[in-house]
Chain A
Amino acid sequence: MTENRGLVDAIIKFNTQTSGRDKLFRLIQYVAKFVWGTFEARQQYPEVVLRLKSLDGALGKVRKSLRLANSLARLKEALDTIHLSDLVLRLSITITKINQAIYLGIDHLCWANDIGLLKLQKDHWSQLASRFWLITILLNLIRDVYEYYLIWIEFLYQKSKNIPDNNIAKRLSFLKMAACDKPLFLDTVKNCADLLLPLHSLGRVNMPLPGVGLVGVISSAVNLLQAIKPELRLIYT
């Protein structure tokens, strides 16, 4: 009973957060993309394809306007993470946040351009936004690799501590230790999936649309899960 209450409370809290709504819309957007991409590839249900395409486009536009002022939030977070004790984490996370802030700033300009408030070269600026997005994801992955490196160090230390007792040493496994860190695992899955999206929009990777949709669904689902259950979120993301 208390577990149900906890979940209901989490959903209510999630419902009041702007970032939560954004993650939900992202999931719906990529599901729509996956479905219409699949139908279009098979040349089935043209009516459904048209409607889902409109939904996909509309959700993308709305999410852009929802993200307005998020660049400020990222800069503020960067000012906090600049005080972290671990040097590598301090550098990687702070630079990631600054990079995200720049990406979002360019995204705001693209939004203003889309709705006609500004007149910019659409292709150039959206490509620039995709580039910064790509760098953000790469920086996130660097942080994930570093966290796995720390687990590796811990594993070696545990192993060296237990050399006299062969049984414990045998049962220790790096993969088991790594799998125990659920937030890190989820974050790595999310970043690996996310990596393909800007690569596709920059034309570096040739992916069919259903594939793009699927990859987006995976990363959005993980994002959504982490939003509902904050204990699954990697710290400072």
Chain B
Amino acid sequence: MDSTSRDSRLIRDVIKYNSNVVARDKLNRIVQYTSRMIIWYVKDAKDMQTLLFRMQKLEAAMATSRKLFRMFNSIEFFVKALDAANEKDGVVRLFSAVGMAGKGIWLFFDHILWFNKIQMMKVDSRWQQMSSWAWLCGVFALLIRDVRKLHMLHVHAIDVSNLEMKQSSESMRHLRRQVEATQLEFVKDFCDLFIPLAALGYANPGIAAAGGMLSSAIGIKQEWSKIVAVSK
């Protein structure tokens, strides 16, 4: 395949990726956390004030537009919390439901904070605190769920090799894909943990920004494979 058709396929894939709300949000997220990282890095440097000013404006613009962009997505998280009832394992069921509900509450508070930011409503700083706590609890619960899932997959893999059943290469590949997906999800949730921790003052903002960048990059990869690779 020559380079021009490869380039045009890439552009087509980027446009397709961009047209999805969740995927686009991940892109905005990585820009937001990268600018936060730069702000943390050059905060005290006296000769970088223009860069600092521009990054602050970019970060604020991205943060505000992302808040509106995901308006009413909290409903989706509550639906996912209800869907968690379909999980077979009790621990996964519980922590999935708690995690999704926590994220739903966080996002609901986030909507209210956006209305406050654009001065349509007035709320005090407690709402920001409550929002961060809800996010922290949600992500922590999802982390426990990920660990449990990895444990279950590990046990399943041992069972399969112990029984010496003739597993088709297809099912082994499927198992491997599940393990990789759960590991990625774990890393993403672990990175996300630092953002509310920093908002509540328990962690360094630089680490939170780095965590945000990494989790957004993982999110972009996950969305890319969902949207672009699936259609191939």
Query: In the complex, A72→B15 CA distance in Å?
Result: 8
Looking at the complex, which one of A21, A61, A66, A73 makes contact with B15 (CB distance below 8 Å)? A73
Chain A residue numbers with a CB within 8 Å of B11 are 72, 76
Q: Are A69 and B69 in contact (CB under 8 A)?
A: no
Residue of A nearest to B115 (CB): A55
* Interface residue count on the B side (C-beta < 8 Å): 26
* Interface residue count on the A side (C-beta < 8 Å): 27
Q: Are B58 and A115 in contact (CB under 8 A)?
A: yes
B80 at the interface (CB under 8 A from A): no
B53 at the interface (CB under 8 A from A): yes
Selecting from A11-19, A86-94, A186-194, the interface stretch reads A11-19
Q: Are A21 and B119 in contact (CB under 8 A)?
A: no
Query: In the complex, A175→B38 CA distance in Å?
Result: 62
A51 at the interface (CB under 8 A from B): yes
B48 at the interface (CB under 8 A from A): no
Chain A residue numbers with a CB within 8 Å of B54 are 116-117
Query: In the complex, A18→B19 CA distance in Å?
Result: 5
A65 at the interface (CB under 8 A from B): yes
Q: Are B118 and A16 in contact (CB under 8 A)?
A: no
Shortest CB-to-CB span from A52 to chain B, Å, is: 8
Q: Are A17 and B20 in contact (CB under 8 A)?
A: yes
Query: In the complex, A62→B60 CA distance in Å?
Result: 11
Chain A residue numbers with a CB within 8 Å of B20 are 16-18
B203 at the interface (CB under 8 A from A): no
Query: In the complex, A66→B28 CA distance in Å?
Result: 9
A54 at the interface (CB under 8 A from B): yes
A156 at the interface (CB under 8 A from B): no
Shortest CB-to-CB span from B108 to chain A, Å, is: 17
Shortest CB-to-CB span from A26 to chain B, Å, is: 13
Q: A51-B119, A58-B118, A115-B57 are in contact. Are A72 and B19 (CB under 8 A)?
A: no
Chain B residue numbers with a CB within 8 Å of A18 are 18-21, 24
B62 at the interface (CB under 8 A from A): yes
Q: A16-B22, A66-B65 are in contact. Are A54 and B57 (CB under 8 A)?
A: no
A25 at the interface (CB under 8 A from B): yes
Chain B residue numbers with a CB within 8 Å of A115 are 57-58, 60-61
| 0 or 1 for each of A46-83: is its CB under 8 Å from B? (1 = yes) | 00001100110111011001100100110010010000
Query: In the complex, A117→B18 CA distance in Å?
Result: 22
B64 at the interface (CB under 8 A from A): yes
Other A-B pairs, 15, CB within 8 Å; known A62-B68, A73-B19: A16-B20, A17-B20, A18-B24, A57-B118, A61-B61, A61-B65, A62-B64, A65-B62, A73-B15, A73-B18, A76-B11, A76-B12, A76-B15, A115-B58, A116-B54
Question: Which residues does A use to contact B, with CB under 8 Å?
Answer: 15-21, 25, 50-51, 54-55, 57-59, 61-62, 65-66, 69, 72-73, 76, 79, 115-117
28 A–B contacts, CB within 8 A, in A order: A15-B21, A16-B21, A17-B19, A18-B24, A20-B21, A25-B68, A54-B119, A55-B118, A57-B118, A58-B118, A59-B68, A61-B61, A62-B65, A62-B69, A65-B65, A66-B69, A72-B11, A72-B15, A73-B15, A73-B18, A76-B11, A76-B12, A115-B57, A115-B58, A116-B53, A117-B54, A117-B57, A117-B58
Question: Which residues does B use to contact A, with CB under 8 Å?
Answer: 8, 11-12, 14-15, 18-22, 24, 28, 53-54, 57-58, 60-62, 64-65, 68-69, 118-120
